[in-house]
Structure formats: C-alpha cells, structure tokens
Structure 1
Amino acid sequence: MIHLNITDEISRLRAVVVGTAASNGSAPDLEDAYDPKSAEHIRKGTYPKTSDMIPEMEALVAVFKKYNVDVYRPKEIKDYNQIFSRDIAFVIDDKIIKANILPDREKEIEAIEHVWSQIPKENRIKLSEAAHIEGGDVMPWNDHIFVGTYRGADYANYITARTNMTAVRELQELFPKKTVKSFNLRKSNTIARDNALHLDCCFQPLGKGKAIIHKEGFLEEEEYTWLVDFFGKENCFHITKDEMYHMNSNIFSISPEVIISEKTFTRLNTWLRSEGFTVEEIAYSEIAKQEGLLRCSTLPLIRD
C-alpha cells in the first residue's frame, strides 16, 4: 500500500511519479496542439525530439535517486505523450484526486494504474464530470489550497483553460477545513507569452517563506496582490514575461532547502543560492517547448 501524504509544495519528498518520454511519437499536427507554445514549435520545426527529451527526464530521475526518493514511472504507451504526470492526478493530504483532463489523454491515467491500485480505495477520488481540473492548477499549502482557474464566460473557447469553478467548489467540499483560494489566470490559445496554462506557470511557493511570481499571469490585480501580501513583498521573486515563457516558476522543491531548476535560469538560480537554497541544475529546455517543466513532470505522493 502507498500511504499518501502531501500537505504543501516543499516538505521533504519521499515518493513521486515522474512522467516518461520513452515513446513520445512524432510531432503532433498543428491542429492537435494543446497549447500555444507547442504550436509555435510545431510551426517552426523545432518541436522536441524523443531522443532529446529522454536524457532530460533521466537527469531528473537521477536527482531524485541522489536524494533517496522513491520514483514510480508510468507504463509506456507507444507513440504517446506521457511526460506531464502532474496533469493527470494530484495528492492533497492522504487523497489522490483524478484530474478531469482533455478526453484525448485518458490513457495517461490508465498508465499509472500500478500506483493508483496501491492507494486505499476510499482515498481515490474522482470529481464530477462537470468539474474540469488539472494538477498544475492545484497547490496544497498547509491550511490553504491555491487553485488556478478561468472564470470568463468564454471558458469553453479556450483549450488553455483547464480548471473551472465547479472543480474549485468541489475541492472546497472535499476539504472543508482548508481555505480553497482561486486565482483567475490569463489565457491565450495563440500567444504563449500571454498564456498562464496553469497556476504553476506563473507562481510557485518555495521554502524559507519565499515564492516566485509573474504578475501578468493574473487577470485580477487584487488576487495577485493577495498572494504577494501572503508571502511578503520582500520574499517574492518577480519573473519577467520572457522568464515566464521559459517556465522559470515551474521548478520543483525536494525539501525546504533543495530545489531542482533548469540550468539556463541564471537570474533565478543566482537568487535562489543567495537566499541559501541548494540548487540542483539540470538541462530541461527541450521538455519546456511543450509549455511544461519540472513541476509539470512530477506527481508527488509522499512528503514528510
């Protein structure tokens, strides 16, 4: 049995599901792209090759092994994108919640059945069909759950809108003792620099009371201000539109002191080290071309 325990984004990690690029298939057709950044690379002919992505993911696994973290991988599906395990499910406390993701991606859930089946049945949660949600929008933070959403009446027009207010309300019912705080995110189907695909594309809490944030990712200034006030202005590292585009907020904490980051994030990594963090740098820029990075590739199961 797997005894889940996730109450925040930073406590010492003990077990995680990491996606796989082992059989990613060829670049999708432009009309099948799920996000504007992937579409941009399909158009340019720079969509990442499987042979370039496999070593990036294996480097991530190697860091987890260095810190004695148990790593689970999905079963391989031939010619299928299984990189972003964060999209398919997420853990809060001792419960795993199955994401209601784009219908084309159902097979990704089946590929982690060997993990799902080890979790006590009463702790496996499926929200209603009307609740759209993906793990990149959900951040447990002690007695809060931060959730990225899109509240516009034109929600259905955005393939980049992945979490709706029905899901936010159902999370609140599921965790009545926690404060579920939602954030209205900026969406674009066509311009990657104007699109916060998930909350973790424009915000990330860290150890030592710090946080990474991108102001323009939030549609409502008061919600952005609420977060800055919550962590304290002096504790927030503000990233630019370009840094957001390259996924600077989508790093991953192994513990309150240890962070995995992309090696080209020079300004961010310098700041992290100046704040006393240990930064494990790896190459992950090919994966980033699909509008996801380190947090997106991981599904944490157990933290201390």
Structure 2
Amino acid sequence: MSLPKLTRLPSARLLIINHLHQQLLPSITPLSVPRRALIQGKYRRPGQPKEDKFPWEGINFDFSKGLEGIKKHFTLLKKEFYDRWVGPEGKPIIEHMLEQNRVIWEFRGAESLQHWIVSSDKEIGGQSEVYLKPGKNGNTCFLYGTLSSTPPRDGETRYSGYCTMRSKQLLASFDRKKHYDWSSFNTLHLRVRGDGRPWMINIAAETYFSHQKDDIYSYFLYTRGGPYWQDIKIPFSKFFLTHRGRIQDDQHPLWLDKINTIGFTLGDKADGPFQLEIDFIGVSKDYAHTEEFAYEAYKRNPEI
C-alpha cells in the first residue's frame, strides 16, 4: 500500500505547508454574483428594512370570506362554461369576424373605477399626489392631482416625480389570469380631455420568462388642453418595447393576443396640478393602416 506523497515529505516542510495553508485560505473569499444580477426583485425604498415574512402571514383566514370566494369563483366558472358553447366572450363567432370597433373600458358611474389603480412617487418617499373620481355627469373618469419632482431625502434616490393610473389584471375563476385578445384589431382608440400635458400610454402583455415581467410597450399621448374632447387613434405598430423605463435595443411588435393591462403615466417634470378626463378606451380595425411595425427589428438569421 503506497502512502500519499504529502506524508513522504520531511516534517519541517509539512509544518511550513500547514502554516501557509492556514494563513492563505481565510483571506481568499469565494466568488459571488450579486443577487440583483441574477433575479431582479421588486423595488424597495432605500433604507427600508427587508420584510422577512412567510407568504401565508398576510392571508385573512375568515370563514365567511371563504364562502363568498367559493360562490364568486363557481359563478365565474359557470359563465366560462356557457360562453364556450356560444363563442368567445359570450358572442357568436360571426360577430367577432365582422367586428370593427370594441369598447374595452367605459367609465359610467363609480363602479367602473374599481377596475383601476392609481399610484405616485409617494411609494418611494416622493411628494406627488394623484386621485381618481367620476366626472361631473358621472359618465367619465377624472384623474387629477399634483406633480412634484422633488426627490426624497434618503441620500440615494436622485429622481422622482410621476403619477400613474393602471387597469387591474383581469381574472377568471379561481384567480386564473385572463387576457384580452385584440389580435383582430390594429389601433387603440380613446376619447380624452386633458390640460396640454404629455402622457405615456403603457400596455403590458403576457410574457413567457420571469425576467420579462417588467416589459412594457409604450407610446406618447399628447393632450391639447381646453374644453374640447380629443378622439385619439394610435396604431399598435407604433408602441415600442421598454423595460423598467428604458427603451430596449431589440424591438419587436406587441403581442395582441394576450394583453394584461393598460396604464397612463405622467412624468414631464413640470411641477404643478394636472388633470385628465377619459370617456372610454377601445380598439378598432383601420383597414387603411397597413404598417406591421414602425421600428427597426433585428434579425438573428438575416436573409441573403
């Protein structure tokens, strides 16, 4: 039986090797990759401690609430079952084939505002304020507030000043994701009345990978102000891809078959009050518009 080579060395050399082994190894730190480079977590305000809570700690285990949820989800499941026999969204197939205009969101009364969420830079310590309420006649949506670009005094945040309004995710029975299918249309149609400020329209579509969850397709909405309404039509081919507010180099058209949400963002750095009144948001089919995509798209295997 042959002994290891280390045991054949003289004792003095073994002592030196052991001493160097103890001195050098603790100073060598293992290579590590920042967590943010692997998975981009949700934004946490600088200085705010991390929440170390289990997912079930925020759930309200109420028996009456559970019964209401069961009744709600089985009602939605029944509606989905019957709509399958009639057609998509409960309409015959012939209506979907001949349909040229469809109203997706129509603001009529306070109940229609429950499908929308408003937020501002107050979530990161800013001073902007945004509110949502029905219009004077109850047939519109009135978004108003005050924009402030003063950053929070936390020593890290350098930019601030935004207000947003976003639609809620459409859910089917048992909280399954339900998507809007706009593949039969090519234009976004909305009727608004603003105060002259430029807004950003953001459309979020379903993604296939987790690192694409913050991908949003955006385009500009210019309001002219005054007491008159604007009928705005924006082709879907004009929307460009952004990721957390940054325009991406690799552009591709918006996938219209799985639309999740739509939103409006104000961040023009003009401090002061603002207002935006919306009548309806819909989609239409413009046969005169034949453009597929307005921006240069990279080809992985270009044609020769």
Q: Same fold (TM over 0.5)?
A: no
TM-score by length of 2: 0.26
TM-score by length of 1: 0.26
Higher share in helix = 1
> Which one has the largest radius of gyration?
2
RCO higher in structure (CA 8 A, sep ≥6): 1
